[in-house]
Amino acid sequence: MPYGYGWGMWGLAMTTVSMVLFWALVIAAIIALVRYLQRTGRGDRDTGTAEELLAERFARGEIDEEEYRRRMTALAERRRRR
């Protein structure tokens, strides 16, 4: 609008900046939500008895059979003492 009516260049600049900030906030919110859901999902998978967790570690090859049997024996002894 040529005769001083309308927003002018400052209005165009503020509109551009506000749109960039809006979309940056939307993207940041989506990233935060995905990270939160990943973190809570991981916590649910880690729950289980000590024997189940030990069996999973043995199945993945993190510990050998000797270590597995030694730890299972230690868990059984601990339960008997209680």
Using only C-alpha atoms, the chain has a radius of gyration, in whole angstroms, of 29
Tell me the pTM: 0.46
9-18, 22-31, 36-45, 50-59: least confidently modelled range: 36-45
pLDDT tens digit string along 21-33? Answer: 999 999 999 999 9
Q: Percent of the chain beyond pLDDT 70? A: 84
Burial class of residue 77 (count of CB atoms within 10 Å of its CB; 0-12, 13-18, 19+): exposed
Q: Is 59 helix (H, G, I), strand (E, B) or coil?
A: helix
The closest alpha carbon to 49, from 8, 78, 10, belongs to 78
- Which uninterrupted H or E stretch holds 56? helix 50-60
